[in-house]
A = this chain, B = another copy of it.
Amino acid sequence: MDNFTFYAPTYYVFGTDAERETGRYVRRFGGTRVLIHYGGGSALRSGVIDRVCLSLEQEGITYLMLGGVMPNPRSGLVYEGIRLCREEGVDFILAVGGGSVIDSAKAIAAGVLYRGDFWDLYQGGFTDRALPVGTVLTISAAGSEGSANSVITKEEGMFKRRTTGEALRPKFSILNPELTFSVSPYQTACGITDILAHLYERYLTNTEDVEVTDRMIEGLMLAMIHEGPRVMEDPEDYGARANIMWAGTMAHNNSCGVGRTQDWNSHSIEHELSALYDCAHGAGLAVVLPAVLTYCLPHDVMRLARLAERVWGCRIDPGQPAAAAEEGIRRFRQFLHGIGMPGTFAELGAKEEDIPYLAHVCCWGDGRKGTLDGYVRLNEEDVDRIYRMML
């Protein structure tokens, strides 16, 4: 196991009606003037924003609103949010939504305190100061409610980049599974895929002696495999929604990823797809991840064979671990298909003729230096081949 530090001081308030306590937690973490950041009209129509506003008012906290965050959140709205917060003296950013809203809120929170162009932080990959952020989660997927990361797409060039830093961990996150009842089947399945991808990306490690985090990851995967189909069958199954919500947070707050190298190549390869075609991140991962797993299988056959055995119930025949590993990938693909996720490039609206461009920008675009340095070091040719495996 590698040396590490781990600090996850997010206060989680989990359960029915939890959003009615938002004001109390904003106050606890020092907010007096709040920017409520959200996406489309659903947060308004569903009444969640009304309840949040009421709870702020009850604490005497003033607020202003900035909606309009799109999936794969863009830099344009971030610049607008930064300007608004500075003009209005905002001291706390409250995200009401899913990962896109939370990531956009984190970008605004960092940008307000940064003297230059906030995009520097996404090119440099590191952020050390930000206004406090709180979240009211309405989609289980990205894990941003407990993570120290944020991903933003810059309109010029459509680069999708990530920044990270302790300052970006939300001070509190309100997790009410009922708020996810109305998430569409497709978006629910995208969320399930994203959560599984966060687990796979952590599982793909080159570090030895990581049994404890391996087992935690496998446990969270098993829970997702159990709960995913349940929620697809009944979107208002509170138990299934609750299990998925906590699994999504635990999958990405990094308690199961400490002390080990992680991959994130699949995320990088997917980010070019959602940046160019604006497909859902989870749907993109459903296509990318099995291809990356297949391409990287020879790197450590036993790791994927063990995963196939422990999580996908495959039997490892002596001397044939690769067969078990392949069967594990096949069952994963089947699972994704079963919850309605796409399996091919075409289903994402992606085009074969774009592959050279995608592979190039993935390896050489804004801030990159020719390789993706995850579980396996991939160059432009590797990435090109991986995209072609998705055809």
- B209 near A239 (CB under 8 angstroms)? yes
Q: Mark A309-343, 1 if CB is under 8 A from B, else 0.
A: 00000000000000000000000000000000000
A41-78 residues with Cβ-Cβ distance < 8 A to B are none
Bound Cα distance A218, B6 (Å): 22
For window 212-243 of A, CB contacts with B under 8 Å fall at 212-220, 222-223, 226-227, 238-240, 242-243
- Of B216, B226, B239, B247, which one neighbours A250 at CB under 8 angstroms? B216
Q: In the bound complex, how far is the Cα of B1 from the Cα of A14, in angstroms?
A: 10
Q: Is A258 within 8 A of B239, CB to CB?
A: no
Asked whether A209 lies within 8 Å of B250 as measured between CB atoms, the reply is no
Q: How large is the interface on A (under 10, 10 to 19, 20 to 34, 35 or more residues)?
A: 35 or more
Contact A246 B223 (CB under 8 A): no
Residue A8 lies at the interface, judged by CB distance under 8 Å to chain B: yes
Q: Which residue of chain B is the closest to A214 with respect to CB atoms?
A: B223
Cross-chain contact B212 with A247 (CB below 8 angstroms): yes
Given the known inter-chain contacts A215-B223, A226-B211, A259-B246, please indicate yes or no for A7 contacting B15, CB distance below 8 A. no
Query: A182 — which chain B residues lie within 8 A by C-beta?
Result: none
CB neighbors of B among A5-22 (8 A): 5-16, 18
Against B, the Cβ 8 Å flags (1 = close, 0 = not) of A1-39 are: 111111111111111101000000000000000000000
Tell me, in angstroms, the Cα distance from A16 to B2 when the chains sit together: 9
Across the interface, do A5 and B13 meet the contact criterion of CB distance under 8 Å? yes
CB distance from A221 to the nearest CB of B (A): 8
| Bound-state Cα–Cα, A119 to B35, Å | 45
B219 touches A242 (CB 8 A): no
Cβ 8 A contact of A12, one of B6, B16, B247 = B6
Residues B211 and A223 in contact, CB atoms below 8 Å apart: yes
Flag whether A117 is at the interface (Cβ < 8 A): no
**A187, CB-defined interface residue at 8 Å:** no
A7–B174 alpha-carbon span in the complex (Å): 12
Does A294 belong to the interface (CB within 8 Å)? no
Partner of A7, one of B2, B12, B219, B250: B12
Kindly state whether residue A255 has any CB partner on chain B within 8 Å. yes
Q: In the assembled complex, which residues on chain B have CB atoms less than 8 Å from the CB atom of A14?
A: 1, 3-6, 258-259
Using Cβ atoms and an 8 Å threshold, which residues of chain B touch A13? 5
Give CA–CA (A208, B240) in the complex, Å.
11
- A339 to chain B minimum Cβ distance, whole angstroms, is 17
Asked whether A220 lies within 8 Å of B212 as measured between CB atoms, the reply is yes
Q: List B contacts of A1 (CB < 8 A).
A: 14-15, 177, 238-239, 242-243, 246
- Min CB distance A175 to B, Å, is 9
Q: What residues of chain B lie closer than 8 Å to A212, measured between beta carbons?
A: 220, 223, 227, 243-244, 246-247, 250
Query: Which residues does chain B contribute within 8 Å of A210, judged by CB atoms?
Result: 243
Q: Which residues of B contact A177 (CB under 8 A)?
A: 1
Which residues of A approach B to under 8 Å, CB–CB? 1-16, 18, 177, 208-220, 222-223, 226-227, 238-240, 242-244, 246-247, 250, 255, 258-259
* Given A213-B246, A250-B255: 4 more A-B contacts, CB < 8 Å: A1-B242, A3-B14, A211-B227, A212-B227
Interchain Cβ contacts under 8 Å between A and B, 5 examples: A5-B12, A7-B10, A9-B9, A14-B258, A215-B223
